Amino acid sequence: MELALSLGDSSQSLPPFLAKTPPTPAPRLDFCMALGVGMSGEAMKETSRDRGSSNSSSFLQLDLLPFSPVPRSCNGGPGVDRPADLSSPFPLPWLVEHLGSEPELFNGRTKRLSINPFAAAAEDVDDAGAQSSSPNSAASSFPMDFGIVVSGRGRGRSETEVDAERDCSRGSDEDENGSTRKKLRLSKEQSAFLEESFKEQSTLNPKQKIALAKQLNLRPRQVEVWFQNRRARTKLKQTEIDCEYLKRCCETLTEENRRLQKELQDLRALKTARPFYMQSPATTLTMCPSCERSVPAATQSAVAASKPTTTHPFGGGQPGKSHRVQGQQQEQLSSGP
């Protein structure tokens, strides 16, 4: 599954695969999301390691969040409101970029596919950002002090450097100034956009992460962490729902058990009062599927005779769901107090 984010007039400047969807009635500036579907989770994982299959997906364009932020730092520079992507015939450069791309070489050999596209993307993003992005730009639409710390992973950088960078981004408690990094809260717009992205897909491949981070003026690691925490919240909520459901099931079963115990007690009392009733050979009890009460087969057959289409003594339920209780209940009834 592919998720592409683009900023600008959703009715224009779309690649051919996006042109399938009806354009918005009136041109306007907003976020566009291109979502490639038709791929399983495993396939998606696979795709994240091999971006070459992007063009086999079908895409769906979504218009999202007209209030979504338009980081000025992502566009052509000070005073330019439209992002650079708008001028491109393909507003989803990272998507187009890998249509038919070949595995790249690193130091004379093929690098891991999971690294290369990411590296290339990071480089591209970095390149784009280098000329347009000002990490701590005061002109940013976000009331935050985030910088795009999209690193230059990829060609020309060693894996050690890449690793050190990830470790740095994952584990460091100190920023470049040596001061303890404060916890930063995402703006409502950023959270809303991430939420919309999460609704479309709960995991991101490296390129989507980069693209999303660029759109939101966040570090890719922040996007990654947000999705991880969001998945955890979803799971927790689902666990609570499941727990509640099981609790209700338990209560129902407890009540049912209580009812059956009482019924058994009644039957035993009945046996004591009318012992001849139990002298008949192997009485067959049938469980009513709707009311779940056991009834003697005599009653059942009498009713069944009048309603030949069902074995239900009360005229309801399905024959196949009736529970025939033989022997065991007979024993239970016989071994009463």
Partner DNA sequence: GCAAATATCGCCATTACATCA
Partner DNA sequence: GTTGATGTAATGGCGATATTT
Q: Which position among 233, 258, 307, 324 is part of the footprint of DNA (CB under 7 A)?
A: 233
Nearer to DNA, 13 or 73 (CB): 73
Q: Which of 23-31, 87-95, 203-211, 327-335 is the region at the interface with DNA (rule: CB under 7 A)? A: 203-211
Closest contact distance (angstroms) between CB of 304 and DNA is 51
Q: Which position among 206, 211, 213, 294 is part of the footprint of DNA (CB under 7 A)?
A: 206
Q: Which residues pair with 83 in a beta bridge?
A: 75
- Please tell me whether residue 115 binds DNA under the rule CB under 7 A: yes
- Please tell me whether residue 180 binds DNA under the rule CB under 7 A: yes
For 296, the 3-state DSSP assignment is strand
Q: Which amino acid is at 98?
A: H
Nearer to DNA, 102 or 331 (CB): 102
Nearer to DNA, 6 or 205 (CB): 205
Integer CA distances (angstroms), 308 to 124, 259, 301, in order: 76, 30, 9
- Please tell me whether residue 229 binds DNA under the rule CB under 7 A: yes
Task: Determine the Cα–Cα distance for residues 135 and 218; give it in Å rounded to an integer.
Answer: 9
Cα 327 to the center of its chain, rounded Å = 50
Integer CA distances (angstroms), 303 to 86, 278, 286, in order: 76, 21, 12
Nearer to DNA, 29 or 168 (CB): 168
| Residue in 79, 88, 98, 101 with CA at minimum distance from that of residue 32 | 88
Task: Determine the Cα–Cα distance for residues 209 and 213; give it in Å rounded to an integer.
Answer: 6
End-to-end CA distance of the chain: 67
Q: Which position among 19, 80, 139, 232 is part of the footprint of DNA (CB under 7 A)?
A: 232
- Please tell me whether residue 177 binds DNA under the rule CB under 7 A: no
| Residue in 79, 78, 77, 88 with CA at minimum distance from that of residue 7 | 88
Closest contact distance (angstroms) between CB of 96 and DNA is 20
- Please tell me whether residue 184 binds DNA under the rule CB under 7 A: yes
Q: Which position among 88, 141, 169, 330 is part of the footprint of DNA (CB under 7 A)?
A: 169
- Please tell me whether residue 136 binds DNA under the rule CB under 7 A: no
**Contacts with 84 (C-beta within 8 Å, 6 or more apart), sequence order:** 74, 75, 76, 128, 132
Task: Determine the Cα–Cα distance for residues 214 and 207; give it in Å rounded to an integer.
Answer: 10
- Of residues 71 through 90, those in contact with DNA by CB under 7 A are none
- Please tell me whether residue 183 binds DNA under the rule CB under 7 A: yes
- Please tell me whether residue 43 binds DNA under the rule CB under 7 A: no
Residues in the chain, overall count: 337
| Contacts to DNA by CB under 7 A | 48-50, 109-115, 118, 159-160, 162-163, 166, 169-173, 180-186, 191, 203-206, 221-222, 224-226, 228-233, 235
